[in-house]
Structure 1
Amino acid sequence: MQTLLKLFSKIKTFINMNNCDKLDIIKAFIYMGYFRAFILFIPFNKLRKRMGKIKVESPDEVEQTDYIKAKRMASIINIVAPKTPWESKCLVQALTAQKMLKKQGISTTLYLGVKKDENNQMIAHAWTRCGNYFVTGGSNRHGYAVVAKFAS
């Protein structure tokens, strides 16, 4: 019963949102599913071609309106990612942010990094930057060596 009440509460919250937010939440959900499937079933070389210009970075500064849109996108991705029935970890989130901001004409850079954990195992991380704002994954980027970057 408690779960059902939570579900109705979330549905009510969604219904009370403005239409622009609803649409972007739905788009983010769809893109996250698309990119998750792409990561699972398509070779990375094909995905890499969709990530933008390799070894290129977007500008360090963007217009204030672009920062506002990037922060809004970060909020939407943070809302949607934990609620997908599939894993929507850093790469899925970074690709989604990059795609949705590109559709709005906002340039971003997607970074891929690696480091070794305490067990000497290689771990990877992805994050997206717009201007000097990290849209996704930026708070966890420290300690990772950037192995690739893609500008959109």
Structure 2
Amino acid sequence: MKNFIIMSWREQRLFLEAYCLTGIVRLAIILFPFRRIAPFLGKYMAESSMLEDSVKLAIARRIGQLVTKASRFTPWESKCLVQAMVCKIMLRRRKINSTLYMGVGRDKIKGLVAHAWLRCGKTIISGAQGIKNFTTVGKFADLDGG
């Protein structure tokens, strides 16, 4: 974890925030039915703007990178839904709009599979891998600054 030591204190703080939030979000997913969590994700079946300020977009990209990195070190499962939700929470705290998407697709081995990803502006911040293979079944948007 030597990369943590060479991060700026701001990035270290973001990394620790992401790490802690992955645990909280994972616990919420385990303890509560999705219908109880969904209202906190934003406006259902709405989309945030495709336009975003370049400074906010740069912050969003970095948060996405740090959430992905933090998720690799958690002793609990921190897959796509956890990562997308953590990114959404962190962006919302910084008044940056985003849309969380949930999709389903087919896998030759696993059959029906689900995936979640987060978009800010035109950029996929989290869960970008393979999204073209998924059909969106739900989306939750933060509008007007989170």
- Which TM-score band (shorter chain)? over 0.9
In the alignment, does 2:71 pair up with 1:81?
A: yes
Give the Å deviation of 1:143. 1.5
Which residues of structure 2 form unaligned runs of 5+? none
- RMSD, aligned α-carbons: 1.3
Larger relative helix fraction: 1
Distance 1:120 1:139 in 2: 17
Partner of 1:70: 60
Distance 1:15 1:119 in 2: 40
Partner of 1:124: 114
Give the Å deviation of 1:140. 2.0
TM-score, structure 2 as length reference? 0.92
Aligned counterpart for 1:18 among listed residues 8, 11, 15: 8
TM-score, structure 1 as length reference? 0.89
Partner of 2:48: 58
Aligned counterpart for 2:95 among listed residues 84, 105, 114: 105
Give deviations 1:9-34, integer Å, cap 9, x for gaps.
x2x44233221111111110111001
Distance 2:72 2:3 in 1: 16
Distance 1:67 1:51 in 2: 19
Distance 2:115 2:98 in 1: 17
Higher-Rg structure is: 1
The runs of 4+ residues in structure 1 deviating greater than 4 Å are none
**Equivalent residue of 1:86, what SS?**
coil
Give the Å deviation of 1:50. 1.0
Aligned counterpart for 1:135 among listed residues 118, 121, 125: 125
Amino acid paired to 1:93: Q
Distance 1:135 1:117 in 2: 23
Which residues of structure 1 form unaligned runs of 5+? 1-9
Q: Identity, % of aligned pairs?
A: 34
Give the Å deviation of 1:119. 4.3
**Equivalent residue of 1:124, what SS?**
strand
Partner of 1:35: 25
* Alignment: residue pair count: 142
